[in-house]
Structures are given as C-alpha cells and as structure tokens.
C-alpha cells in the first residue's frame, strides 16, 4: 500500500486542521486574551519542530514502521511497552474526537437522535473504509475531501469582513505579558498537530523525500490557519467573548451574513467537519490496527480494525457517563507530562539513539 | 458427425436431418455439363442470390469453364487454382462446421465424390442503414452511428483509424447465438494487462445467448453489484475512435449497435463528444454547469429536505416564511412528499420511454396537469417540492451518457432516505459512504476516480477544462478522455 | 459470508435509524419568532413575550398591508429568561424557533430594575440563537405593547423596526455589538430607543406606531445613564463611529433661512491632543456633504460661497456635537469608545484607569473637531424663492 506525497499532504493537513479547529484556540485565548494568536504561533513553531524531529527519526528508519524500529532501537521489551503508550494515545484520541463530534451534533443539530446512532454510523464508516482499502482508500478520500475542506476553512475566515475590527486585537502584549502568553502556549500546543501519526504513516510513503516535504507543508498549512483563525476570532468578537466561546470556529460561522441573505451557514459547515473527522479517525484506526497487528504478529489487520472500532464505541459509551473521563482536556498531568513526552521527548530519544547507532555502524564498517 | 463424405446421398441425408423443419433451408442439386453433381446448400434470405447466380452458377452451367478446360476433376482443385470468382471462399472438412457456416449465411458447395466442401461468404441480408444515434446526438460532428451488423461497424472504425496498429481480434460467445465479438485496440498504445484480462474473461464466458453487448458487460465487470458502470457503451464511432487512441479497448458485438469501451472512470460518463468540438472556453462553462447539475441531480431533494425540516435556520427568513406558507396545509412530512414525487417522476419517465408516439402528448398532459397542478391545488403536495423535483429531473438530463444517469438516480433515493433520518449529518454520512465505495472501485485496473484520486496532475486538466488541443503534450497511455 | 454479515448489519443499522428518527420537524410545526420583548414583572420575575409570525395561505407574507391575522404575541413570566421561555413554549402548539429573530425589545423599566447582563448568558450559550438581531429599548411603555402593535406597512412591528433601522443606516446595533460593548472596559453601549406614538396614517385611521426616538447611553452596570433625543442621538452615533449616513439642517446666519445637507461616509477619528497627557483627546468627525436644500439667497455655484458654506457647516456641526459630547460626558458613560482608544494607545496608563472608567471619563478633556467636505451643491445654483 503506497501513499504518494500529494496524498500525504492532505492526510496530514486534514488531521491537523480538524483537531486545531476544535480545541487549541479556546485554550490559548482563555489565557492570553487578544494575544492568543502569539500563543498559537509559538505553539505552532514548537509543533513544527516536533514534526521535523519525527521526520528525522522516520528518515533514519525508512523501511520500518514505528513498531519495527522502536523494537530495534530500544530493545524488545522496552520497545513494546513504549509502543503500547502510543496505541493508548491513538485510541484515546479517536475516542475523544468521535465523542466530541457526536456530542456536538447532539447539541447543535440533532437534538433527539440518540448519540449511539451517530457514533455507530461514524465508526461503521471508518471501519468500512479501513477494511475496504486500508490506507489507500483513506488517502484517496483525503485527496478528494482535502481541497474542499481546507478551502472552506480558509474561506470561512474571510466571510465576515464587515464585522472584523482590526483594532480589537490591540494592544499587543501590553495586557497580558509573557507569562500569560506562555501559559496559553502551554495549554494549547498539544492539541495542534499530531506528529505521532507520521511515525507510522511514513512507512507507506512512496517517495520519502516528497513525503517529508509534504508533511512539513501540511503541518505548516494547519498552523497558518490556526494563527489566522485566532486573529479573525479576536477581530470579530473581541477578546472577552472569544475567551468564553467553547468552539470558536463554530460560533464564527454563525456570525456570517452575506448580503443579508446567506445566513446561519453553520449547518453547511458541519458536514465538512464530519468529513475531516472521518479522515482523522480512519487514519487513526488504520495505524492503530496495523500497529497492533505488527505488535502481536497477528496478520489480519483488517479484522483488528473492526474489533478496534467496536472497542472504541464501547469505550466512548462507557466514558460518556462519567464526567471525569470526558473532561480531560485540561488535565495538567496529561498536558505537562504525557503529551510532550510522546510528541517530543520520545522522538528526540529515538533520533539520538538512531544517530548513535549509525555512527557506530559506520565506525564498525570503516 | 464427422467429415464430409464422398457420397452425396449421405451428405444430403445428414444435412436434411440437421435442418429438419427449417422452411428456409434450401438444398439444390445441379448436374454440370460434364456430369459432376453439385449440391448447393444455403438458408434463404441470408445470401446474395444474384452474386451466386452471376459469379458461380452461370459460369459453371452456361458459359463453361474458363480457359477451355473441359472437365472439372475436382472442385477443390478449381478453388485452389483460383478459378472461382468469389472473393471469400474456403474449404470445410467437417459437416458440423459446414452447418455452422450455413447458419451464419454462407453458401455451402458440396461436390459428389469429394471429401471437402467449399464455403463461400456471400452473406446478403437486410440490415439497417447508418443513422444518427438517438441517445447521443451532438450539435456538431459526425452523425454516423453504429448498426447491428458487425462488419459494417468494424468498417466504420477502420475508416477512421487508418493504421495497421489497429487490431481486431475475433471471439465467439454464446452457445445458441454464436455471437461474434471483436476486440479492438491499438497495439502499442493500449495497456497489455487490460488486454490480457479482457481476453481471459471473454474466453471464460459461458452462456446460452449473447443478445446485446450488455450481456458481455456483466461478465467483464469486476464488481457487478456496484451501481456504477465499469464499462462504457456508445453508439458513436468517433467516441470509440477517440477512446482507442487514448489506449482504451473496444468490444464490438454482432447484433447490437452498442459498442463497449473499457476501462473507464467516473468522469467519462460526464463528458460528451460535443466537448471536443467546440471552443474550449465555452466548454469550460458547459462543463462547470454540467458538474453542478450532476450534483443537483442527486443531491437536491436531499438538501431540500435537510434544509426545510432539519435546519430551517439556514434558509433566509423571508424565503423560509414563503416555504412555511406553502407547506401550511400539507399533510405529509416533507420526506414522504419528496419521495412520492420522485417516484412518480421516475414512473412518468419510464412510461415515456416505452410510449408509442401518439400517446406522448397525453402522458405529458396527465403528468403536468393532473398530477402536478391538481395535487398542488388540492393541497396535497406543496409547490416548492414540485420545483425541486422538476429541477432535479432536468439536471439529470444534462448528464450526456444515459448509462451514467442511472447510478445518480439510485443515489438520489439513498441520499434522500439517509438525509430524512439525520439531516445534514446523514447527508454527510451518505456521501462518505459513496465516496469510500467509489474510491476503491476499479475498472480493469484503473481506479474509478482517476485522475482526481490518485492525483495525476497532467491528466486532471482534461477533466476540469478541456485543455486546448494545441497545448496538449504527449500521448496518454491510460487516458481518461471520453 | 462476511459480505452477508456486512449487509445485514448495514440494513439493521438503517432500520434502527429509521425508527428512531424523531429529529426532523416540519415547517408547519414551527413558530418563527420575529421579535422578543423582555419586561419587568412583579415579584422579581421577568416577562418574556414572543412575536410569532403566522404564515397565511392566501397572500405572501410580506405583500399587502397589515392584517391582524399575520402574527400573535405569546408571553409568560418566569424567574429567569430560560424559565420564562420554557413557559411560553408550553403554551404554544408549535416549537419556537428564534433563529430568524429580528429584534429584542427591552423595556426601560427592566433596565432600571433588573440586570440586563443576565439576558446575555442565555443568548450566548444556547447555540440556537444568532446574535444578529437588534437590541432596542422601549421607553414609556411595556415592551410587550410594542410587540402587540400593528404596523400599516409591514406585517409585524419587529420586522418594521428592523427595516427602519436598516434603511436609516443604523445597522451596527446588533445584539452582538451590544454584548461586545458591554463586556469591554473602554466602551459603553448605546441603545436605540423606541417610543410608541399616535400617528394618523389614513383619514379614518389613527393608530399607535413605534418610532425611533433617540438613543440611550448605558453605564457599566448597564443601567441607563441618560437619554439622547433624536438629533443628539444621531450626533452621538456619528461620534461613536456607528453611523452610516445622516441629514442635518442648519439655520443660516440671518436666522430664518436654512441649509440642509445629506452626509454620507460618516467616520470619526480619535487622537491624543498631547502625547504626554492622555487625558486630552481630540475627536474628529468626517463626512462628505451634499447640499440638498437651500433657502438662502446665496448663489452656491460661486466658489467663495461654497467655501463659506463649508466653513460655516463645519463650525455649526462642531458646536452641536461638542454640546452632545459634554452632555454625555457628564453622565459618565463613554459610548464613544474613547476608553478603548486609550487602552490601545497608552495601555499601561489605561490599567490604572479602567476600573472606574465611568468616573474617570468625566475628567477627560475632549474636544470635537469637524472635517466635513462639501461635495456637491445639488442640481441648481441659487434657490428658487
């Protein structure tokens, strides 16, 4: 199964944008008010760097997936344990996204439909896509959905020109100070981009060079959008309201009024978010099942995909009834420790180990 | 039975037994001047009698043999010495083979005392003249269309591609129909893998009869259950010729003017031959309209239901109040109404296809006045729905290929159903499901949605706009033209 | 086998979904709320009234003159907004749909006795609301009575007011703007005021109509700081940057002739008079003026007369606006956004001021300047009298 560079670009940018549009902006603006965009910018830089490090690691281990080369570098036992963490990460991310999506639908559009139904439909589609064609199906879908999705997200930012007041973003820095900005960055950067999927996807790339460039571009596109969106949010609603909105991008679409005729277009945007969520979930499911199949040696990753989808459904239904599990976004433990470890620290370690090995190999060979 | 026997009686008996109760079977015995007994067997109505009389019988019976030969020792010898002025003639050693040839309209010639029969291809039966294909008319361009006779069809193609690389391989399928199918391609341009797959599949066809190329279609397709066709059919020679030049493969079957073309993509169904005959700027506009209309044709009823029942806040206030006013007295839920009207519309369309000409206006009157107008005035159906359904119907007709409209008509119903349950979310789910299906569908190795997914930058220009001929570079190996 | 399983599961899914689809709602089960009124009721309750449009079968909803059949007003009392709305819904045969709402009318009494900011929580939180409607204050009467009025031209009074404000160039008074202004520390909201007057529209008919009759300036606690009448209000709107066009009539120097101008492209700029003292502000208003009525004897096709008129106009405008500015400043309600300007230009000084801006605003020295350009004198030179 080969993924071209172009497809990789869309896969990464959609996955990043969909999470970006959901969480980080609210977290950053809450802390830093109208300077939220600086927080986002800083966070984006950090994540770009993390992606770059991840790419270095992948380039070093071109012909293996994460499961493979972690075993190489860290030894079998430690490697397996580390990979389990990644599995948990992807699994919980999937659960969070699908639950967030279903709850959002329930709140906004379909009030009476049981959440189970929406969950079932979505997970069924995701599992079907992965079953049918693996990453090829997902990447082809991403190619089609991608341009529309990204275009619409960008266009949405510019549909409010009459309500944007640039001066609302002023004064820069004076109100918040560096502490607030950094807190904003700290809270939000984990949710911006997910470099860990690259660890698995890179193996499937057809041409490694173009793929790595595509991945960097994808992340950059998402980051640019994030900064612009935060700016537009502050322009349109001012810092006080922006800090209170839970899903700011959605509220932005509600304000759009073109020619006093096209209004309330949020119902039009929500299917596109669904498409984006679908891509992210499919990518997540695929790497999860492929990774588990490699980890356990059980060859039929398609079957694992179905099982994982069912497990995800069960987990979501279970955690929906427990509020502590459903509101883990601001959990300091997660933000401060787990996410940076998985996104930044581990790839760094792997990179260093890989470089050491290489040096040792060339030294041995010479 | 086996070979042709030397005894004329045995041959005659066998032939008469085979063609028992066939009133069009003719067996005539002649005795030539030199007492050679000759038997002619043919099926009445299938041969060109004048040709036989002029070129064969007359010389033998009346004028004598050429170059003063007195006695025919062997007809076969005569044939080998090329003294029979008939263009297509060959020997046949088995009686069954002779029977088959006679059934196909050949003239069988048996000579008493010889073990070979001669078979002459003098077919002459009534066939349709070349007309413009009804379903695929264009404003500009050739007006010729295929007919039911295989040789005429192949000649229509031959006249347009004047190159020895155009190959025509012949296959026979169908136990009772013995239909000849010709596989036509440009050697060197067509994909060898596709060819081998097609040859393989043609060999494997095991069926009683092949009446139309559609019968072969199912054997060829990988995924017959999909609602999207993986093989295209056309009645226009220029379309076939263009496809051949792009590396596609054509299958011409005897007895039908529909020629199959494969492999295809989704976009082939949305392009018409006209696109290549007009100026490319104009074509850009037309294609845009066509793509939008295609989307309308399967999505509009669903979108209308979603907007008016699930998300009325999206419709501008004044329009919404108009719609609400129109729907005040309507007894059915919107979904049911839309479904009902769609069903009736499709029914009317079906009725229209099979109508004798005289009843055409009657049906349109019934459809428009009775169902449409009266239902609205009685308050059973609301006017916006009529507008939506009519627009949808019109939009379906902008799709150039009839066989490409069929999947969209089906999708319409499916999307309506899903949207009726879950609103725009359901619509999104439906589209996603379709997308997943389409993305993995393959037509003979070509992904169904190329060149959009997997993206092929060079080919995609021809899909969206019709790239000006002068700027096109290179030849397509696996092209997606029409 | 697995295909069979797949298909049956899909079918069961669809069947389950079909039976559970309770979510769609027909347009004839919806009640479109066009306007909402909030009033103060006794016992600490509030009364919420909804003006709901009835789609009539015969004529289109916006053609023809007002019928008494085209709307109803339903109201209920409750302890907070949500409870009151809930009670209204209980009385209704159809589901309320506020997404197309044009107007929120709040009575003066409510402003005085209750806290308007509690309204905004519901408006912001419930995603069914869009904040595109206009917030107005109804003076001298219950807001509910405003909703009960007929209108001679439009079918519903809330639509009428919405259109009136739009036509007269005042489309920056949406609820969203109101919320933004009320939450930011450097601006105070300016609310349009409606009053119900008796107007004779036909020879046999004299009926009450709600007309725009000025503006109200609010203070930090969203209580009314003061009322501006029509002319002052228009000036205040111009100075706060929310106006789009304006018309003024100036008496000429001899006291009896008048000049009338139409002003478009209204704008305003705030500057510091002195960089070191943030308390001295210059507010410059800008516009383009078109002379549309002239009863003086001046021949305005002469250049020097035009210059004179332009200078005179600027002086007069400045005087009038300065009066309005001083009046508003006395009330301590910064509707012009000067605080926001100071927030941006001298943010550190602002931090010391912002907490009690209502008081500190009074201490500012604001000078108004006028920079209006006379663009054209109309189609004729001298006047025809």
* pLDDT tens digits for range A26-61: 778 877 777 778 888 888 888 888 888 888 888 877
Phi, psi of B232 (to 5 degrees): -100, 150
High-pLDDT (> 90) share of chain C, %:
0
High-pLDDT (> 90) share of chain A, %:
1
The residue-averaged pLDDT of B202-231 equals 84
Q: What would you measure as the largest C-alpha separation in chain A, in angstroms? A: 74
Q: Is residue B465 part of a domain?
A: no
Hey, are the CB atoms on B436 and A137 less than 8 Å from each other? yes
Q: Which residues of A touch C99 (CB under 8 A)?
A: 264
pLDDT of residue C60: 45
Residue that wins the pLDDT comparison between B430 and B354? B430
Q: Is the Cβ of A174 closer than 8 Å to some Cβ of chain C?
A: yes
* Gap from B422 CA to chain C (nearest CA, Å): 7
High-pLDDT (> 70) share of chain A, %:
89
List the single residue in A107, A128, A241 with the smallest CB-CB distance to C179.
A241
Q: Is residue B58 part of a domain?
A: yes
Q: Which residues of C touch A233 (CB under 8 A)?
A: none
The residue-averaged pLDDT of C163-191 equals 78
Hey, are the CB atoms on B432 and A143 less than 8 Å from each other? no
C287 SS3 class: strand
Of the pLDDT bands very low, low, confident and very high (cuts 50, 70, 90), residue A332 is: low
Whether residues B442 and B317 fall in one domain: yes
Hey, are the CB atoms on C99 and A111 less than 8 Å from each other? no
- Considering only CA atoms, which of C37, C191, C182 is closest in space to residue C117? C182
pLDDT digits (tens, 9 = 90+) for B262-321: 888 888 888 877 777 778 788 888 888 988 999 999 999 999 888 888 877 777 777 777
Whether residues B411 and B281 fall in one domain: yes
Residue that wins the pLDDT comparison between C54 and B285? B285
Of the pLDDT bands very low, low, confident and very high (cuts 50, 70, 90), residue C14 is: low
- Token pair for residue C310? 């332009």
Hey, are the CB atoms on A6 and B455 less than 8 Å from each other? yes
Q: Please check whether residue B264 is in contact with residue B401, taking contact to mean a CB–CB distance below 8 angstroms.
A: no
Residue B163 Rama label (left phi>0; alpha psi -120 to 50; beta): beta
List the single residue in B423, B425, B454 with the smallest CB-CB distance to A4.
B454
| Fold type of domain C241-385 | GMP Synthetase; Chain A, domain 3 (3.30.300)
pLDDT of residue A326: 56
Hey, are the CB atoms on B453 and A121 less than 8 Å from each other? no
Whether residues B374 and B424 fall in one domain: yes
- Residue B85's domain comprises 8-120
Q: Mean pLDDT lowest for which of A66-70, A332-336, B30-34, B275-279?
A: A332-336
DSSP letter for B81, please: T
The residue-averaged pLDDT of C81-92 equals 84
Q: Which residues pair with B234 in a beta bridge?
A: B259
pLDDT of residue B470: 65
Cα separation, B119 vs B107, in Å, equals 6
Whether residues B57 and B92 fall in one domain: yes
Hey, are the CB atoms on B417 and C97 less than 8 Å from each other? no
Write B281-288 long-range contacts (CB < 8 A, 24+). Answer: B283/B465, B283/B466, B284/B465, B284/B466, B287/B464, B287/B465, B287/B466
Q: B387 pLDDT exceeds 80? A: yes
DSSP letter for B47, please: B
Q: C147 pLDDT exceeds 80? A: yes
Q: B480 pLDDT exceeds 50? A: no
The residue-averaged pLDDT of A211-222 equals 88
The residue-averaged pLDDT of A287-304 equals 84
pLDDT of residue B415: 92
Q: Please check whether residue B241 is in contact with residue B160, taking contact to mean a CB–CB distance below 8 angstroms.
A: yes
pLDDT of residue B86: 65
High-pLDDT (> 70) share of chain C, %:
88
pLDDT digits (tens, 9 = 90+) for B176-189: 888 889 999 998 88
Q: Is the Cβ of C56 closer than 8 Å to some Cβ of chain B?
A: yes
Q: B477 pLDDT exceeds 50? A: no
Q: Which residues of C touch B429 (CB under 8 A)?
A: none
Cα separation, B83 vs B95, in Å, equals 24
Q: How far is CA C306 from the centre of its chain?
A: 35
Q: Which residues of B touch C25 (CB under 8 A)?
A: 309-310
Hey, are the CB atoms on A124 and C10 less than 8 Å from each other? yes
Hey, are the CB atoms on C17 and A107 less than 8 Å from each other? no
Q: C59 pLDDT exceeds 80? A: no
Q: B471 pLDDT exceeds 80? A: no
The residue-averaged pLDDT of C80-96 equals 83
Q: A306 pLDDT exceeds 60? A: yes
Interface probe with B: pick from C11, C25, C27, C160, most Cβ of B within 10 Å: C27
Q: B119 pLDDT exceeds 50? A: yes
For chain C, which residues make up each domain, given as ranges? 25-228, 241-385
pLDDT of residue B302: 92
pLDDT of residue C19: 59
| Helices A115-157, A248-255: crossing angle, 10 deg rounding | 60
* Gap from C23 CA to chain B (nearest CA, Å): 7
Cα separation, C294 vs C313, in Å, equals 13
Q: A-B interface: how many C-beta pairs under 8 angstroms? A: 98
Residue that wins the pLDDT comparison between A264 and A182? A182
pLDDT of residue B250: 92
Give the chain C residue whose CA is nearest to the CA of B313.
C99
Hey, are the CB atoms on C32 and B323 less than 8 Å from each other? no
Q: Please check whether residue B289 is in contact with residue B467, taking contact to mean a CB–CB distance below 8 angstroms.
A: no
- Chains contacting C (3 or more CB pairs within 8 Å): A, B
Give the chain B residue whose CA is nearest to the CA of A108.
B311
Q: How far is CA C137 from the centre of its chain?
A: 9
The number of distinct structural domains making up chain B is 3
**In the predicted model, what is the mean pLDDT of chain C?**
78
The CATH number of whichever domain residue A297 belongs to comes to: 1.20.1740.10
Give the chain A residue whose CA is nearest to the CA of C185.
A240
Whether residues B251 and B302 fall in one domain: no
- Residue A294's domain comprises 5-253+262-365
B62 SS3 class: helix
- Chains contacting B (3 or more CB pairs within 8 Å): A, C
Q: C199 pLDDT exceeds 50? A: yes
Of the pLDDT bands very low, low, confident and very high (cuts 50, 70, 90), residue C377 is: confident
Q: C66 pLDDT exceeds 50? A: no
Hey, are the CB atoms on C24 and B329 less than 8 Å from each other? no
Whether residues B312 and B412 fall in one domain: yes
Q: Please check whether residue C49 is in contact with residue C37, taking contact to mean a CB–CB distance below 8 angstroms.
A: yes
Hey, are the CB atoms on C21 and B420 less than 8 Å from each other? yes
Spell A52-72 as b/e; 16+ CB within 10 A means b: bbbbbbbebbeebbbbbbbbe
Hey, are the CB atoms on B324 and C27 less than 8 Å from each other? yes
Q: Which residues pair with C97 in a beta bridge?
A: C32
Which of residues B99, B120, B141 is at a domain's end?
B120
Give the chain C residue whose CA is nearest to the CA of B332.
C26
* Gap from C128 CA to chain A (nearest CA, Å): 7
pLDDT of residue B182: 92
Hey, are the CB atoms on C17 and A121 less than 8 Å from each other? yes
The residue-averaged pLDDT of A200-209 equals 82
Q: A-C interface: how many C-beta pairs under 8 angstroms? A: 60
CB atoms closer than 10 angstroms to residue A322? 9
The residue behind tokens 């104009």 is B282
Whether residues B391 and B441 fall in one domain: yes
Q: Which residues of A touch B440 (CB under 8 A)?
A: 132-133, 136-137, 140
Q: Which residues of C touch B421 (CB under 8 A)?
A: 17-18, 20-21, 23
Whether residues B99 and B199 fall in one domain: no
Q: B476 pLDDT exceeds 70? A: no
pLDDT of residue C64: 45
Q: B16 pLDDT exceeds 80? A: yes
DSSP letter for A281, please: H
Of the pLDDT bands very low, low, confident and very high (cuts 50, 70, 90), residue C267 is: confident
pLDDT digits (tens, 9 = 90+) for B224-256: 778 888 888 899 898 899 889 888 999 999 889
The number of distinct structural domains making up chain A is 1
Give the chain B residue whose CA is nearest to the CA of C102.
B317
- Chains contacting A (3 or more CB pairs within 8 Å): B, C
List the single residue in A109, A133, A143 with the smallest CB-CB distance to B455.
A143
pLDDT of residue B183: 92
Give the chain C residue whose CA is nearest to the CA of B331.
C28
Interface probe with B: pick from A141, A146, A206, most Cβ of B within 10 Å: A141
Q: A1 pLDDT exceeds 80? A: no
Interface probe with A: pick from B432, B433, B450, most Cβ of A within 10 Å: B432
What is the rounded radius of gyration, in angstroms, for the C-alpha atoms of chain B? 30
* Gap from B430 CA to chain A (nearest CA, Å): 10
Give the chain B residue whose CA is nearest to the CA of A121.
B429
Which of residues B217, B240, B263 is at a domain's end?
B263
Strands C30-40 and C95-97: parallel
Interface probe with A: pick from C180, C185, C339, most Cβ of A within 10 Å: C180
Whether residues B289 and B331 fall in one domain: yes
The residue-averaged pLDDT of A304-325 equals 80
Q: Is residue B104 part of a domain?
A: yes
Cα separation, C96 vs C73, in Å, equals 12
Q: What is the ipTM of this complex?
A: 0.86
Q: Is residue B1 part of a domain?
A: no
Cα separation, C291 vs C372, in Å, equals 12
Interface probe with C: pick from B321, B322, B337, B416, most Cβ of C within 10 Å: B321
Q: Mean pLDDT lowest for which of A151-155, B230-234, C248-252?
A: C248-252
User: Which of A:254-283 have CB within 8 Å of B?
Assistant: 260-268, 270-272, 274-275, 278
B311 SS3 class: coil
């Amino acid at each position: 199964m080969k993924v071209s560079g172009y497809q990789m670009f869309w896969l990464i940018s959609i996955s990043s944008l969909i999470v970006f549009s959901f969480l980080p902006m609210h977290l950053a603006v809450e802390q830093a008010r109208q300077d939220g965009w600086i927080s986002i910018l800083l966070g984006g830089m950090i994540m770009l760097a993390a992606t770059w490090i991840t790419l270095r690691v992948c380039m070093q281990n071109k012909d293996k997936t994460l499961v493979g080369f972690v075993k190489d570098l860290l030894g079998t036992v430690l490697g397996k344990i580390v990979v389990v963490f990644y599995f948990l990460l992807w699994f919980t991310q999937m659960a969070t996204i699908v639950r967030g999506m279903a709850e959002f639908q329930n709140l906004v559009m379909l009030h009476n439909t049981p959440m189970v139904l929406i969950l079932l439909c979505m997970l069924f589609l995701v599992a079907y896509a992965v079953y049918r064609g693996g990453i090829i199906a997902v990447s082809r879908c991403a190619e089609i959905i991608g341009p529309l999705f990204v275009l619409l997200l960008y266009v949405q930012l510019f549909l409010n020109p009459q309500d944007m007041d640039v001066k609302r973003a002023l004064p820069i820095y004076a109100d918040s100070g560096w502490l607030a900005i950094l807190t904003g960055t700290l809270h939000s950067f984990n949710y911006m981009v997910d470099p860990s999927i690259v660890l698995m996807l890179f193996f499937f790339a057809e041409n490694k060079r173009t793929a790595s460039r595509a991945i960097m571009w994808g992340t950059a596109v998402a980051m640019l959008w994030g900064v612009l969106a935060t700016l537009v949010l502050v322009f349109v609603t001012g810092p006080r309201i922006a800090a209170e909105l839970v899903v700011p991008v959605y509220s932005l679409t509600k304000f759009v009024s073109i020619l006093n005729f096209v209004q309330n277009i949020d119902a039009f945007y929500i299917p596109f978010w669904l498409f984006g969520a679908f891509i992210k979930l499919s990518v997540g499911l695929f790497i999860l099942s492929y990774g588990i199949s490699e980890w356990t040696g059980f060859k039929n990753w398609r079957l694992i995909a179905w099982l994982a989808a069912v497990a995800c459904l069960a987990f979501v239904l279970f955690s929906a009834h427990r509020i502590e599990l459903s509101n883990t976004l601001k959990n300091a433990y997660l933000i401060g420790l787990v996410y940076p470890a998985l996104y930044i620290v581990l790839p760094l370690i792997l990179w260093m180990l890989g470089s050491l090995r290489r040096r040792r190999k060339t030294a041995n060979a010479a | 039975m086996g070979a042709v026997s030397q005894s004329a009686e045995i041959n005659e008996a066998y032939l008469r037994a085979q063609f028992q109760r066939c009133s069009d079977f003719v067996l005539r015995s002649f005795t030539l001047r030199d007492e050679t007994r000759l038997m002619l067997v043919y099926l009445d109505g299938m041969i060109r009698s004048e040709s036989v009389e002029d070129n064969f019988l007359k010389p033998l019976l009346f004028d004598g043999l050429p170059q003063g030969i007195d006695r025919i020792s062997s007809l076969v010898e005569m044939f080998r010495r090329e003294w029979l002025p008939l263009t297509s003639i060959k020997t046949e050693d088995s009686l069954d083979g002779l029977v088959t040839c006679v059934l196909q309209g050949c003239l069988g010639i048996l000579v008493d005392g010889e073990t070979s029969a001669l078979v002459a291809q003098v077919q002459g039966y009534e066939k349709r003249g070349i007309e413009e294909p009804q379903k695929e008319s264009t404003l500009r361009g050739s007006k010729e269309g295929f007919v039911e006779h295989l040789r005429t069809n192949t000649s229509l193609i031959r006249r347009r591609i004047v190159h020895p690389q155009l190959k025509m391989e012949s296959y026979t399928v169908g136990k009772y129909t013995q239909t000849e199918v010709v596989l036509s391609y440009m050697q060197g341009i067509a994909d060898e893998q596709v060819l081998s797959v097609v040859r393989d599949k043609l060999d494997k066809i095991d069926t009683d009869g092949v009446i139309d190329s559609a019968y072969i279609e199912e054997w060829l397709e990988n995924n017959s259950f999909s609602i999207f066709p993986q093989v295209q059919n056309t009645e226009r020679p220029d379309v076939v010729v263009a496809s051949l030049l792009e590396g596609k493969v054509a299958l011409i079957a005897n007895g039908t003017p529909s020629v199959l073309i494969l492999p295809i993509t989704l976009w082939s169904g949305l392009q018409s031959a006209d696109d290549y005959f007009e100026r490319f700027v104009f074509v850009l506009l037309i294609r845009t309209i066509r793509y939008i209309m295609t989307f309308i044709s399967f999505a509009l009823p669903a979108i209308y239901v979603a907007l008016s029942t699930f998300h009325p806040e999206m419709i501008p206030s004044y329009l919404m109040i108009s719609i609400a006013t129109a729907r005040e007295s309507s007894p059915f839920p919107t979904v049911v109404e839309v479904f009902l009207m769609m069903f009736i519309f499709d029914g009317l369309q079906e009725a229209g296809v099979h109508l004798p000409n005289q009843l055409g206006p009657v049906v349109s009157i019934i459809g428009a006045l009775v169902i449409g107008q009266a239902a609205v005035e009685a308050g059973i159906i609301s006017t916006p729905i009529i507008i939506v359904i009519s627009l949808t119907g019109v939009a379906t007709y902008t799709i150039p290929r009839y066989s490409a409209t069929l999947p969209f008509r089906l999708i319409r119903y499916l999307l309506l159903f899903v949207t009726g349950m879950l609103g725009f979310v359901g619509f999104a789910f439906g589209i996603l499901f379709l997308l997943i299906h389409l993305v993995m569908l393959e037509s003979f190795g070509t992904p169904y949605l190329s060149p959009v997914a997997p993206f092929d930058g060079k080919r995609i220009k021809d899909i969206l706009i019709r790239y000006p001929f002068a700027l096109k570079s290179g030849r397509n190996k696996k092209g997606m033209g029409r | 086998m697995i295909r069979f399983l797949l298909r049956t599961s899909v079918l069961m899914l669809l069947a389950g979904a079909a039976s559970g689809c309770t979510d769609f709602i027909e347009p004839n089960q919806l009640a479109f709320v066009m306007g909402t009124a909030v009033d103060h009721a006794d016992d600490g309750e509030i009364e919420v009234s909804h003006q709901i449009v009835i789609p009539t079968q015969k004529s289109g909803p916006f053609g023809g003159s007002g019928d008494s059949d085209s709307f109803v007003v339903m109201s209920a009392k409750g302890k907070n907004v949500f409870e009151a709305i809930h009670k209204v819904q209980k009385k209704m045969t159809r589901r309320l749909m506020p997404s197309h709402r044009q107007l929120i009318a709040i009575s003066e009494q409510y402003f005085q006795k209750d806290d308007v900011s509690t309204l905004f929580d519901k408006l912001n939180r419930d995603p069914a609301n869009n904040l595109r409607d206009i917030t107005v204050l109804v003076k001298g009467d219950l807001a509910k009575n405003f909703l009960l009025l007929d209108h001679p031209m439009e079918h519903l009074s809330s639509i009428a007011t919405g259109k009136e404000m739009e036509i007269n160039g005042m489309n920056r008074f949406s609820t969203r703007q109101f919320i933004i202004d009320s939450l930011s520390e450097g601006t105070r909201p300016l609310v349009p005021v409606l009053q119900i007057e008796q107007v004779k529209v036909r020879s046999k008919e004299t009926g009450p109509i709600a007309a725009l009759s000025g503006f109200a300036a609010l203070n930090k606690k969203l209580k009314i700081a003061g009322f501006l009448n029509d002319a002052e209000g228009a000036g205040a709107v111009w100075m706060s940057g929310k106006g789009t066009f304006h018309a003024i009539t100036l008496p000429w120097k001899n006291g009896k002739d008048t000049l009338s101008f139409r002003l478009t492209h209204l704008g305003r700029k705030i500057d510091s008079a002195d960089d070191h003292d943030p308390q001295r502000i210059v507010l410059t208003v800008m516009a383009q003026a078109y002379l549309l009525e002239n009863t003086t004897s001046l021949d305005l096709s002469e250049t020097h007369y035009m210059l004179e008129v332009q200078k005179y106009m600027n002086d007069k405008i400045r005087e009038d606006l300065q009066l309005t500015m001083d009046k508003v400043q006395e009330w301590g309600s910064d509707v012009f956004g000067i605080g926001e300007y100071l927030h941006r230009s001298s943010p550190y000084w602002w931090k010391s001021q912002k907490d009690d801006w209502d008081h500190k605003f009074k201490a500012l020295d604001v000078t108004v300047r006028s920079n209006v350009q006379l663009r054209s004198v109309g189609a004729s030179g001298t006047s025809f009298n």
